[in-house]
Amino acid sequence: MLDIVALLVTLTALFSYINHRFIKLPTTIGVMVLAMVLSLILMSLGELGYAPVEQRAEAIIGGIDFNQVLMQGMLSLLLFAGALHVNLEELAQQKWPIGILATVGVVASTFLVGIASWLVLNVLFGISISLLYCLLFGALISPTDPIAVLGILKSAKAPKNLEIKIAGESLFNDGIAVVVFAILLGLAMGGEEVTLGGVALLFAEEALGGIVFGLGIGYVAYLLLKSIDSYDVEILITLALVLGGYALAIHLHVSGPIAMVVAGLMIGNHGRSLAMSDTTREHLDTFWELIDEILNAMLFVLIGLEMIILTFERDHLLASLLVIPIVLLARLACVGVPVHIMRSRFGFVFSPHAIKIMTWGGLRGGISVALALSLPLGPERQIVLALTYIVVLFSILVQGLTVGKLIKATVAPAGSGAGDS
C-alpha cells in the first residue's frame, strides 16, 4: 500500500510540475492528459515486446480499488472542501432550481440515457445488454461530478449566480444518483423485491437521513469550534468531522456525500462567521484548499492511469461516439425543460444563456467511473465501463477545456449574471 501511495503522489507531483511549467492547462486536466500519455506509452511497450513492463504497470494499477479509494476515501474530503466555500445565502436563493435539477433531473436523465443507449447498443450495433444495465449506465452518468465541476468553474470565472446553480446541483445530485444506482443494482442482482414504498423509504433514509445527519454532526462541530480558539485543534476537529462523520454515515445507512455537503455548508458559513477567529479562518481555508487541490490532482491522475487496465472493443468504442451526444441531449432536456417551466410558469429569472452553459458545464468525472467499477464482473460490466470511461474523457477534455470559452462568448462581462437568479 505504501508503494502505491508513494508512486501515486510522485506521479501527481511530477505531472503537476510538467503541466505548470510547460503545458499550462488547468491542473486537473493537465495531469489527467499526462497520465493518459503514460498509459499509452506503457501499453505501446507491451505491443513492442516489452510485456513485463506493461504487466507490472497493470498489476500496480489493478491493485488500486478505484471505487474504494474515491467513494470511501477521497470523496468525503473533496465534497466537504467544495461545500466549505459555497455561500449558503446564495445557495438558499437558488434552492428550487438546484433541488429540481438535482432530483427530477437525475431521475429523468437516468431513463432518457438508459433507454436511448439500449436502443443504440442493441439495435444499431447488435451488442447484447439488458435494459436494466443501460439504466444503471444512465444513473451513474447522469450526475454532474462536483469534483470536476467546482474546479473547472473556478478557473472558468463563471458568473456568480450561474456558478452557484451549477455548483449547488453538482454537490447534491451525486447523492441522489447513488441512491438511484443502488436501487437499480439491487434489481439487476435479483435481490429483494423492489416496491414503490421501498424505493420511497430508501430515498428518505439516504437523502433526508443524510441531510439530518449532516446538520447534526455539523452543529456538534460548530459548538466545539466556538468553545476554543486554537487553529490547529480546530482544523483537526473539521478533519475528524469529515472522516469520522462519513464513516458513521455509512454504518447508519444514510447518504455520506449529502451529509458532508450539509456539514461543509454549516461550517463554511455559520462556523466561519460565528465560531472562528481571523487566524483560524485563514489557516482553515489554506488547509482545505490544499486538500482539495492535492486530492483533485491525484484523482485525475488515477482516472488517466485506469486506461491501462481497461479493455476497449471496437464496437464499444464506436457505440461510445453515439452515446456521447445522447448524454449531452439528455442533459439539455433535463436542464432545458425545468428551466423553461420555472421561467415561464413560476417567474424564476435565468440569464439568456443559462441552459447552454449549464448543459455544457455539467461535467462528468470520477464518481461515474467509480460507480461503473463497482458493478459485478461480467460482459455487461465491460460494456458499461467502456461507455462510462469514454464519456468521462470527452466531458473533461472537450467540455472542460471549452466551457470557459463558452462562458466568455455568451455572458457579457459587465452583466456577470446580474439578471440570473
H helices within 189-313, ranges in order? Answer: 196-203, 209-226, 231-252, 256-266, 272-274, 278-305
CA distance 96 to 98: 5
pLDDT at 148 over 90: no
Residue 78 in contact with residue 85, Cβ under 8 Å? no
Domain range enclosing 110: 66-410
What pLDDT, on a 0 to 100 scale, did the predictor assign at position 79? 92
User: Looking at residue 321, what is its pLDDT?
Assistant: 95
| pLDDT confidence band for 189 (50 / 70 / 90) | confident
Asked if residue 46 is part of any domain, the answer here is: no
Q: Is residue 420 part of a domain?
A: no
CATH number at residue 202: 1.20.1530.20
**Is residue 281 included in any domain, yes or no?**
yes
How far, CA to CA in Å, does 67 sit from each of 143, 210, 332, 369?
16, 20, 28, 8
pTM of the model: 0.92
Q: 421 in a domain, yes or no?
A: no
| 192, burial (CB in 10 Å: exposed 0-12, middle 13-18, buried 19+) | exposed
Q: Rg of the Cα trace of the chain?
A: 21
pLDDT averaged over every residue in the chain: 90
Q: What's the number of domains the chain is made of? A: 1
Let me know if residue 6 belongs to a domain. Answer: no
Instruction: Please report whether residue 344 resides in a domain.
Output: yes
Could you read off the pLDDT of 319-372 as tens digits, one per residue?
999 999 999 999 999 999 999 999 899 888 787 888 999 999 899 989 999 999
**Is the residue at 22 inside a domain?**
no
Tell me the CA distances in angstroms from 84 to 5, 88, 218, one per residue in order: 26, 10, 12
Q: Is residue 55 part of a domain?
A: no
User: What average pLDDT score do residues 129-137 get?
Assistant: 96
